[in-house]
């Protein structure tokens, strides 16, 4: 019986990978990866020799039908992203959906993902939260921020370092300047940092200090 297994990979420290994930990577017949070069570095570190095929934002629709055929002909196939759990803010969900539609079993292993440690360590309520992933780059961006400003649950956004300042500036048009936020950088990496404070203070800080690295933005819900 063919199966697609989603294997989370480290988002920083290579020790974050689970023993079960290592075993699955050793046993699987085929690996689909977001970037085969990144995956090869991880496999080399683990001493695993496997064939990897690309499945990323530039080829997912064109390669989808062929991917399903390959999965059908293998006992087990693994999908990995560059870092974290596949399918979260990456095209992996298209492959998952196609497998389900074609009667192929799908299994997802527990493991690293950036927003959970960022949320828990932010100090904001995490019993109820909204995960937004990346905001639209252009169309619908302001509309989305306006809606989120009224959200009473903790809000989680992914952001790139070169867009963070723009996002904080746009937030001041809809959010209170005293809204508490936490800018989390480089989760599980050497320079992991948490910048906690009011929106206005964080905006001024990052105007003077250019943000670097992968960013998770946690926003406290409206009181």
**Same domain? 143 vs 194:** yes
Residue finishing a domain among 84, 108, 132: 108
Residue the block writes with tokens 């992914």: 158
- pLDDT per residue, tens digit, the chain (223 aa), is 799 999 999 999 999 999 999 999 999 989 999 899 999 999 999 999 988 998 876 666 678 888 999 999 999 999 999 999 998 877 788 899 999 999 999 999 999 999 999 999 999 999 999 999 999 988 899 999 999 999 999 999 999 999 999 999 999 999 999 999 999 999 999 999 999 999 999 999 999 999 999 999 999 999 8
Residue finishing a domain among 50, 81, 108: 108
Q: Which two tokens stand for residue 141?
A: 């961006």
Q: Is 183 exposed, middle or buried (0-12, 13-18, 19+ CB in 10 A)?
A: buried
The number of angstroms, rounded, from the C-alpha of 77 to the middle of its chain's C-alpha atoms is: 21
Structural domain of 158:
115-219
CATH value at residue 64: 3.40.1010.10
DSSP run (H or E) holding 115? helix 115-122
SS3 of residue 97 by DSSP: helix
CATH value at residue 167: 3.30.950.10
**Same domain? 91 vs 132:** no
DSSP letter at 198 equals: E
**Same domain? 199 vs 120:** yes
The phi-psi region of residue 59 (left if phi > 0; otherwise alpha if psi is between -120 and 50; otherwise beta) is: alpha
**Same domain? 27 vs 97:** yes
Q: How many domains does the chain have?
A: 2
Q: What is the Cα–Cα distance from 99 to 8, expressed in whole angstroms?
A: 18
């Amino acid at each position: 019986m063919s199966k697609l297994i989603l294997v989370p990979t480290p988002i920083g420290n290579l020790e974050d990978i689970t023993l079960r994930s290592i075993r699955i990577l050793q046993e699987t017949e085929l690996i689909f990866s977001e970037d085969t070069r990144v995956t090869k570095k991880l496999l080399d570190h683990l001493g695993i020799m496997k064939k990897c095929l690309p499945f990323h934002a530039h080829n997912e629709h064109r390669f989808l039908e062929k991917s399903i055929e390959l999965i059908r002909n293998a006992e087990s196939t693994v999908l990995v992203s560059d870092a974290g759990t596949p399918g979260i803010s990456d095209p992996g969900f298209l492959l998952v959906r196609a497998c389900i539609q074609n009667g192929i079993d799908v299994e997802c292993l527990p493991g690293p993902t950036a927003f959970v440690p960022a949320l828990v360590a932010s100090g904001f309520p995490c019993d109820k939260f909204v995960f937004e992933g990346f905001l639209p780059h252009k169309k619908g961006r302001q509309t989305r921020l306006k809606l989120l400003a009224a959200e009473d649950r903790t809000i989680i956004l992914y952001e790139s370092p070169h867009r963070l300042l723009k996002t904080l500036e746009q937030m001041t048009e809809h959010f209170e300047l005293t809204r508490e936020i936490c800018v989390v950088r480089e989760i599980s990496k050497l320079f992991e940092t948490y910048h906690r404070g009011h929106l206005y203070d964080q905006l001024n800080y990052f105007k003077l200090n250019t943000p670097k690295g992968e960013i998770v933005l946690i926003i406290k819900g409206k009181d």
